[in-house]
């Protein structure tokens, strides 16, 4: 837990400090650009130049003998360091020569954070000096606002990035474990709404891959066992055919080989059907079917057998959306198994009820029961898995290949329903098909 936090924190703070550093660098560059702009643009000095021009125009309207006192009075009035000097005095200053002042009429001199402006009154040898004054800078209150805005954005970014960074670290960990062969690894519930779809997609992908790998392992194990038995019998029969001379025994071994070949064909056909169902969903044709008629046709198809089939219709004239072909296939499998493993009695019940998850959704149910020996609780948990067989010896005479019920479960998934098993009050097993009516 501590390592996971350190790992997540390292990734998060790296990203967080990168963004905050970008804000700080941007703010610093902005300040430098501002200062450079102030130093290079005379017009930015909050009206200093305009003030000098106005004072120059004002004093020119009065006798020259009053200029110095008028400049001093203006400085006192506006609380500015104004004074009048001669051009020769300006020329004696070390910071500039008077030639530049004559060409530009106004000269700006900087030193430290102070500024001095000189204005040459046109057609005279008099210079109005303003300064030294503090260099204009960005108002401090605006700088404080900027800092507060940056701090606010910093908090917002922290709140936004932290759960996202933690979820990404969890996803990274789950991906790493899955890649190392831990196919049970899954991503936890995401705290960030932006990462949640990624988490869900990963879990769906991981579940699908795990399912395919498990099915592949089961297929490899089951097929190797199922193929070995008839092949071994055929091999033995072929060896005996080369030595036996009795015609009856020869025909017996030949029949055994034919039966084994037929069994192999059935196994391959069922495997192909299951593989096609597992890899991709076929094109379904959903129609509004009369369930009473659908079940009635299946019962009629099995009437020639000695087993007695009872039909209970608890939902008369029930219409449900389904694929007729595949629901018939699933129901046929249930009824055939009930006849095979029952003790002469089978009951088929059609019902309608509200969904447990959504009371507005009506469900259709077809339950097939028998009076056989039933199914053990241990086997109920895996009975719908591929190649699951109650007889662990996998003797072909005791049943099929364990694919029929797996196909039924897949059919019900396509109908957004389920296939389930329970104990029947008749003493045997109760297999049920359930799916939404609409």
Which domain CATH number covers 257?
Answer: 1.10.287
Domain termination residue (choose one: 102, 134, 166): 134
Range with top average pLDDT, 86-95, 103-112, 206-215: 206-215
Percent of the chain with pLDDT over 70: 75
pTM: 0.49
Residue 41 lies in a domain: no
- Asked whether residue 39 carries a pLDDT value surpassing 60, the answer given is no
Average pLDDT, rounded, for the chain: 77
Query: Does 420 lie in the same domain as 304?
Result: yes
Mean pLDDT of 134-141: 57
Neighbours of 51 (CB within 10 A): 20
Percent of the chain with pLDDT over 90: 11
Query: Does 264 lie in the same domain as 303?
Result: no
Tracing tokens 């389920």 back to the chain, one arrives at: 418
Q: How far is CA 157 from its chain centroid?
A: 21
The pLDDT assigned to 68 comes to 87
Domain termination residue (choose one: 114, 134, 154): 134
Mean pLDDT of 3-17: 56
Contact 298, 335 (CB under 8 A): yes
Residue 355 lies in a domain: yes
Which domain CATH number covers 404?
Answer: 3.30.565.10
Domain range for 263 = 221-279
The pLDDT assigned to 293 comes to 92
- 163 vs 165: CA distance, rounded Å: 5
Query: Does 417 lie in the same domain as 302?
Result: yes
- Asked whether residue 146 carries a pLDDT value surpassing 60, the answer given is yes
The pLDDT assigned to 2 comes to 46
Residue 404 lies in a domain: yes
Q: Assign 365 a pLDDT band (cuts: 50, 70, 90).
A: very high
Cis peptide before 293 (omega within 30 of 0): no
Q: For the chain, what is the domain count?
A: 3
Q: In terms of pLDDT, which residue wins out, 55 or 193? A: 55
- Asked whether residue 256 carries a pLDDT value surpassing 80, the answer given is yes
Residue 349 lies in a domain: yes
Mean pLDDT of 264-293: 77
- Asked whether residue 161 carries a pLDDT value surpassing 50, the answer given is yes
Query: Does 378 lie in the same domain as 261?
Result: no
The pLDDT assigned to 369 comes to 93
Query: Does 50 lie in the same domain as 90?
Result: yes
- Per-residue tokens: 232: 């071994």
Query: Does 268 lie in the same domain as 385?
Result: no
Q: Assign 347 a pLDDT band (cuts: 50, 70, 90).
A: very high
> Distances from the Cα of 254 to the Cαs of 251, 257, 258, 262, 267, in angstroms?
5, 5, 6, 12, 20
Query: Does 315 lie in the same domain as 239?
Result: no
Handedness of CA 122, 126, 130, 132 (dihedral sign): positive
CA atoms within 13 Å, Cβ hemisphere of 12: 20
Q: Assign 351 a pLDDT band (cuts: 50, 70, 90).
A: very high
Residue 21 lies in a domain: no
Task: Read off the pLDDT of residues 48-107 as tens digits, 9 standing for 90 and up.
Answer: 777 888 888 888 888 888 888 888 888 888 888 888 888 777 766 655 544 556 556 677
Handedness of CA 183, 189, 190, 194 (dihedral sign): positive
- 170 vs 393: CA distance, rounded Å: 44
Residue 185 lies in a domain: no
Task: Read off the pLDDT of residues 302-312 as tens digits, 9 standing for 90 and up.
Answer: 876 667 889 99
- 54 vs 233: CA distance, rounded Å: 120
- Per-residue tokens: 74: 């203006």
Query: Does 250 lie in the same domain as 290?
Result: no
First-residue to last-residue Cα distance in the chain? 47
- Asked whether residue 326 carries a pLDDT value surpassing 60, the answer given is yes
- Asked whether residue 434 carries a pLDDT value surpassing 90, the answer given is yes
Query: Does 313 lie in the same domain as 344?
Result: yes
394: left (phi over 0), alpha (psi -120 to 50) or beta: left
Handedness of CA 177, 181, 185, 187 (dihedral sign): positive
- Asked whether residue 350 carries a pLDDT value surpassing 60, the answer given is yes
Query: Does 123 lie in the same domain as 234?
Result: no
- Asked whether residue 44 carries a pLDDT value surpassing 50, the answer given is no
Query: Does 265 lie in the same domain as 349?
Result: no
- Per-residue tokens: 384: 């719908």
The pLDDT assigned to 396 comes to 46
Residue 249 lies in a domain: yes
- Asked whether residue 405 carries a pLDDT value surpassing 70, the answer given is yes
The pLDDT assigned to 305 comes to 65
The pLDDT assigned to 366 comes to 94
Task: Read off the pLDDT of residues 262-278 as tens digits, 9 standing for 90 and up.
Answer: 878 877 777 777 666 66
- Per-residue tokens: 14: 């790296």
For the chain, what is the largest distance between any 2 Cα atoms, rounded to a whole number of angstroms? 155
Which residues does residue 368 pair with via DSSP β-bridges, in sequence order?
348, 431
Closest residue by Cα to residue 191 from 211, 161, 213, 156? 161
Query: Does 406 lie in the same domain as 299?
Result: yes
Handedness of CA 337, 342, 344, 345 (dihedral sign): negative
Residue 391 lies in a domain: yes
Domain termination residue (choose one: 134, 168, 203): 134
Mean pLDDT of 357-363: 79
- Asked whether residue 394 carries a pLDDT value surpassing 70, the answer given is no
Mean pLDDT of 39-55: 65
Contact 118, 128 (CB under 8 A): yes
């Amino acid at each position: 837990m501590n390592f996971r936090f350190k790992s997540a924190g390292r990734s998060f703070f790296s990203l967080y400090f990168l963004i905050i550093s970008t804000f700080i660098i941007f703010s610093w560059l902005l300040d430098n650009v501002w200062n450079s702009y102030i130093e290079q643009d005379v017009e930015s000095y909050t009206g200093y130049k305009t003030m000098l021009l106005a004072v120059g125009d004002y004093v020119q309207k009065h006798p020259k003998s009053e200029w110095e006192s008028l400049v001093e009075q203006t400085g006192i009035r506006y609380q500015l360091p104004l004074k009048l000097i001669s051009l020769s005095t300006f020329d004696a200053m070390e910071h500039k020569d008077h030639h530049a002042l004559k060409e530009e009429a106004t000269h700006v001199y900087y030193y430290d954070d102070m500024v001095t402006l000189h204005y040459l009154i046109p057609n005279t040898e008099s210079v109005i000096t303003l300064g030294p004054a503090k260099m204009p800078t960005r108002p401090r209150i605006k700088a404080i606002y900027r800092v507060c805005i940056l701090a606010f954005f910093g908090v917002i970014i922290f709140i936004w990035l932290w759960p996202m960074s933690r979820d990404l670290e969890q996803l990274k960990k789950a991906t790493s474990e899955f890649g190392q062969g831990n196919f049970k690894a899954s991503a936890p519930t995401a705290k960030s709404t932006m990462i949640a779809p990624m988490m869900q997609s990963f879990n769906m992908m991981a579940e699908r891959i795990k399912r395919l790998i498990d099915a592949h392992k089961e297929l490899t194990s089951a097929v190797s066992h199922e193929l070995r038995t008839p092949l071994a019998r055929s091999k033995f029969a072929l060896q005996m055919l080369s030595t036996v001379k009795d015609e009856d025994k020869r025909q017996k071994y030949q029949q055994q080989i034919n039966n084994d070949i037929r069994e192999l064909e059935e196994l391959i056909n069922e495997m192909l059907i299951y593989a096609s169902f597992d890899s991709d969903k076929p094109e379904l044709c959903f129609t509004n079917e009369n369930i009473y008629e659908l079940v009635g046709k299946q019962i009629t198809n099995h009437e020639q057998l000695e087993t007695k089939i009872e039909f209970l219709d608890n939902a008369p004239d029930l219409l449900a959306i389904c694929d007729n072909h595949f629901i018939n296939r699933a129901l046929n499998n249930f009824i055939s198994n009930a006849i095979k493993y029952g003790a002469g009695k089978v009951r088929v019940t059609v019902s309608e009820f509200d969904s447990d998850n959504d009371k507005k959704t009506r469900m259709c149910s077809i339950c097939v029961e028998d009076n056989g020996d039933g199914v053990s609780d241990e086997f109920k948990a895996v009975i719908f898995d591929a190649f699951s067989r109650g007889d662990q010896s996998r003797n072909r005479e005791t049943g099929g290949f364990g694919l029929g019920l797996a196909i039924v479960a897949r059919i019900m998934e396509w109908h957004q329903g389920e296939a389930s098993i329970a104990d029947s009050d008749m003493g045997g097993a109760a297999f049920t098909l359930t799916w939404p009516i609409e």
